[in-house]
Amino acid sequence: MKELEKTKRISISAILFLLVIVIGLLTFRKPQFSFSNSSAKTLEVVTNSNHQISLDDFKNLDPSTYKLIDIRTNFDFSKGHLDNAINIPISQILEAMSNGSFSDAEPTEKTVIIYGEHPQDADAAWMLLFQMGYEQIKILSIRTYYENRQFHVKNVDIGKPSYDFAETMRKASIQKIKKVDAKPAPAPKKKVITQPKKKKKMPEGGC
Amino acid sequence: MSATYTTKKILVKRSYQFLALILILLAGGLFLIPKHQKHDGIPPEQFVKNLLSTERYISTDLLADRMVNQDPVLLLIDTRTTEEFEKFSLPNAINIPLAQMFDENLNAYLNQDIYDIVLFANDNFLANEAWMIGNRLGYQRLYVLDGGLNAWFETIIEPPYPKETMSKEAFELYAFRKAAGKYFGVANDTVEIETKVIKKKAPKKVITKPKKKKKMPEGGC
């Protein structure tokens, strides 16, 4: 009978062991989003700076070879946007990936071109997407703004200094010289020392 | 030993073997679980939140103020190329070109928790990229100079004079920028130099002795 009790105990512990494994497997979940490109690789692509495209080059592209994504807010997008652009605000990119609406813009053979208000805004979306594994992406180096009820697009030379810094600094550090005609110094006034007149004393004494 | 005892023993042994087999199989199953690639730094959800926040930008006026007051925890990092850095940079800045961000001895400046690091370049773009790469890896206390050196020159070195209709604050800001500019080497004061200085001969001093008045003889008849 001792042996039977032993088997009972063993089988109970085995079942518990199995349960733990089954529960573990069921609750095992991969994180929904993860980065797949390393930072070092990203840095390499960034420094080669072939992830940007200028407005002129963009205009020469055949519209069937790319997909255009506007990452500004819905409100800005509704006021004006480039032709054929899809609006996916940067805050909703992950959401769009999970519900599948991003797959429409997912790079296959087409290059995805991103633009925003400033190139650095588009660059933020680029950083996110590239590090998550989308590699066929470029950013459009433009600035977009709304003025006089019209949507404007302007090309931006990224990283271009608007001053010759060293030269501007050199000029600024020189003290400005103002030439002033010297006025002839006024002649010193003669000091007039007035001696108090002695009052004529009546001659003392006398007869 | 009775016959029933031996059969029981065999049965027990079999169940042991069976259990052991199941455990081995399950252990083998662990290898089948898809590999979950682990990456450095923060998850993408957090990264998006950080990207949307504008907390990372520091204005040129605030930076100038901190530099003038010699903030001990401030560290400036120029992310442009060495060539550009040598031509001109902000005072006391360290040059870490973006491409060399992961060099061992340079990376130690970025991945730390002692200084408030202000990254800058000609405009926002390059410094922002350095910030984003650093932020993903979880680097602390990184900031970006808003507008970069272009904004620095527009505001601190060559500030525009406010219009007369502008508020009092605009004039105060202008005065601050002028004063800060002086600290950074801009000569605001004009030096007046006199030209055509004609020296006149000093007239001879004529010393006139006061004549002694003849005194009336004292006394006497």
A204 contacts B196? CB cut-off 8 A: no
Say how many domains are in chain B: 1
With beta carbons less than 8 A apart as the criterion, state whether A35 and B135 touch.
no
Indicate which CATH number applies to the domain containing B103.
Answer: 3.40.250.10
Q: Is residue B33 part of a domain?
A: no
- What's the CA gap between B140 and B118, in Å, rounded? 12
Residue B158 forms contact with A (CB below 8 Å): yes
Instruction: Rank A9-13, A46-50, B167-171, B198-202 by mean pLDDT and report only the highest.
Output: B167-171
Q: Is residue B107 part of a domain?
A: yes
What is the per-residue pLDDT for B38? Answer: 63
pLDDT class for B39, splitting at 50, 70, 90? Answer: low
- What's the CA gap between B53 and B60, in Å, rounded? 18
Residue A114 CA, distance from chain mean position: 15
What is the per-residue pLDDT for B122? Answer: 93
Q: Nearest CA to CA, how far is B169 from chain A (Å)? A: 25
Strands A150-155 and A142-147: antiparallel
- What's the CA gap between B75 and B111, in Å, rounded? 13
Instruction: Evaluate if pTM is beyond 0.80.
Output: no
CB pairs below 8 Å between A and B: how many? 182
B137 contacts A39? CB cut-off 8 A: yes
Helix (H) or strand (E) holding B193: strand B190-195
Q: Is residue B192 part of a domain?
A: no
- Structure token digits, residue A131: 């590090």
One pLDDT digit (tens) per residue for chain A, 207 residues: 566 677 788 788 888 988 988 888 887 777 788 888 888 899 999 888 678 899 999 999 888 888 889 999 999 999 999 988 889 999 888 888 877 666 655 556 678 899 999 999 999 999 999 998 888 889 999 999 998 889 999 998 888 898 899 899 888 888 777 777 777 667 777 788 888 777 777 766 665
B190 contacts A177? CB cut-off 8 A: yes
Q: Is residue B106 part of a domain?
A: yes
- Looking at residues B15-41, what average pLDDT do you find? 75
Residue A203 forms contact with B (CB below 8 Å): yes
Q: Is residue B62 part of a domain?
A: yes
What is the DSSP secondary-structure string of chain A?
Answer: -HHHHHHHHHHHHHHHHHHHHHHHHHH----S----S-HHHHHHHHHHTTTEE-HHHHHHS-GGGEEEEE-S-HHHHHH---TTEEE--GGGHHHHHHTTTTTTT--SSSEEEEE-SSHHHHHHHHHHHHHTT--SEEEE-EEEEEETTEEEEEE--TT--SS-HHHHHHHHHSPEEEEEEPPPPPPPPPP--PPPPPPPPPPPS--
Q: Is residue B202 part of a domain?
A: no
For an interface test with A, which of B50, B52, B122 has the most A Cβ atoms less than 10 Å from its Cβ?
Answer: B122
What is the per-residue pLDDT for A37? Answer: 86
Q: Is residue B90 part of a domain?
A: yes
Which domains, ranges and CATH numbers included, belong to chain A?
A: 52-155 (3.40.250.10)
C-alpha distance from residue A142 to each of A121, B129, B148 (Å)? 10, 17, 18
ipTM of the predicted structure? 0.75
CB within 8 Å of chain B, chain A residues 50-69: none
CB within 8 Å of chain B, chain A residues 140-169: 158-163, 165-166, 168-169
Q: Is residue B72 part of a domain?
A: yes
Range of the domain at B51: 44-156
pLDDT class for B187, splitting at 50, 70, 90? Answer: confident
Nearest by CB to B189, from A35, A169, A175: name it: A175
Nearest by CB to B191, from A10, A123, A175: name it: A175
Q: Nearest CA to CA, how far is A206 from chain B (Å)? A: 6
What is the per-residue pLDDT for B22? Answer: 82
